[in-house]
Amino acid sequence: MLPRVALPREAGALLRPAELFTPPVSKVWLEIGFGGGEHLLWQAAHNPQVGLVGCEPFEDGVVKVLNSIDAEGLVNIRIHADDGRPLLRLLPEASIDRAFILFADPWPKKRHHKRRLISGETVGELARIMRAESELRIATDIGAYACAILHGVLGQGGFSWTAREPNDWRQRPADWPPTRYEAKALMEGRKCYYFRFRRA
């Protein structure tokens, strides 16, 4: 299954991401670190006109998604079975209509902060590849990381925070399905933060 849905790794093959899908799609969404794939699969099933690119370096999550693609007959998912950050550098400008980073590893120890997915470099690449008015969704269950996310994304200058009241970031929207990581966090009594940013 993987060769059928694997994303090409050559920059030239990614110049028009929407053309990687058959039948054609009207928009392309990107999820970096899809974990068990619950969110990726839900979005693909509920948005058949959208092409979903999912990045995940861990084999267990990739295998689970491949099995579901096969069982459910999903044709609008492409898989990058690796770290998503190098892929960002290959994607063309203004080619992504929505991006998701959900419950990424917070790397809580200060000496490990440089390993965090949300960094100035990553946010800058996201700003480059995302279309104007597109949406970046980020979730975490770690308060200190939530602050770092807000600082990192808003400090880059390419995004605005869409929240108007506390419930806008305390409650998950209806079109944002839960993941197993979120369920584990809530079971252990941690608060979850659901951020939505608009590309300028």
List the catalytic residues. 105
Q: What is the number of alpha carbons within 13 Å of residue 157 lying toward its C-beta?
A: 0
Amino acid at 43: Q
User: Which residue matches tokens 């925070």?
Assistant: 161
**SS3 category, 79:** strand
Q: ∠ CA(9), CA(10), CA(16), 5° rounding? A: 100
Tokens linked to 59:
């084999």
CB atoms within 10 A of CB 119: 16
Residue written as tokens 């806008």? 168
Nearest CA among 141, 136, 163, 166 for reference residue 152: 136
- Rounded Cα–Cα distance for residues 83 and 34 (Å): 11
